[in-house]
Structure 1
């Protein structure tokens, strides 16, 4: 896996740590990520046990314990991945990515879903941190970091 520059790493860490200061950030930001995924990729709704035609703004979805749990879990997984990705635990990250890739392949997750999920992360960061903080420099840093992580996951899924 390629390494990120110091500036890119700093931007990603700074914005992620600020996001984590938001009360219930896992649920709050996770809902934004999953809403984007469900809007742009309706078949993902079915993978998570929802009808393909469920309204992504409906209380049925947004108040669903299953939806909120998945949203929070996704944010926890990203937090763990970033901790390893941006820290000294790259070997452990590769092992975890291999395990996650195997699970996600069995669930029916496909490679085209990853860029949409990336859009969701960018939207969540911009929405919850504000455009004045989450500027173009930070957005580009996140695109680079997410691209590396998602490419690793996609490659592991194709093994």
Structure 2
């Protein structure tokens, strides 16, 4: 996996730590991420056991324990991945990515869903941190970081 510049790493860490200060950030930001995924990839709704035509703003979705739990879990996984990716635990990260890739492949997740999920992360960060903090420099740092992580996952899914 490629290395990130100090500037990129520090921007990602700074913004992620700020996001984590928001009460219930896992659920709050996770819902934003998955709403974007469900809006742009309706077939993802079915993977979570929802009808393909469910309204992404409906209370049926937004109050679903399964939806909220998975949204929060995704944010926890991103937190763990960032800690390993931006820290000394790269070998462990590769093992975790391989395991996650195998699970997600079996669930029916496809490579085209990853860029949309990335859009969801950017939207969540911008929405919950504000445009004045989450500026273009920070957005580019996140794009680079997410691209590296998602490419690893996609490559692992194709093994």
TM surpasses 0.5? yes
Cα distance in 1 for residues equivalent to 2:64 and 2:133:
31
After superposition, what is the alpha-carbon deviation per residue over 1:75-131, rounded to whole angstroms, capped at 9, x for unaligned? Answer: 000000000000000000000000000000000000000000000000000000000
Gapped regions of structure 1 (runs ≥ 5): none
Please state whether the residue corresponding to 1:56 is helix, strand or coil: coil
Corresponding residue number in structure 2 for 1:90: 90
Cα distance in 2 for residues equivalent to 1:138 and 1:78:
17
After superposition, what is the alpha-carbon deviation per residue over 1:10-65, rounded to whole angstroms, capped at 9, x for unaligned? Answer: 00000000000000000000000000000000000000111100000001100010
State the Cα distance separating 1:73 from its structure 2 match: 0.4
Size of the aligned set, in residue pairs, is 159
Corresponding residue number in structure 2 for 1:39: 39
Please state whether the residue corresponding to 1:73 is helix, strand or coil: helix
Runs of 4+, deviation exceeding 3 Å: none
Cα distance in 2 for residues equivalent to 1:12 and 1:104:
25
Cα distance in 2 for residues equivalent to 1:137 and 1:48:
34
Instruction: Using structure 2 for the length normalisation, give the TM-score.
Output: 1.00
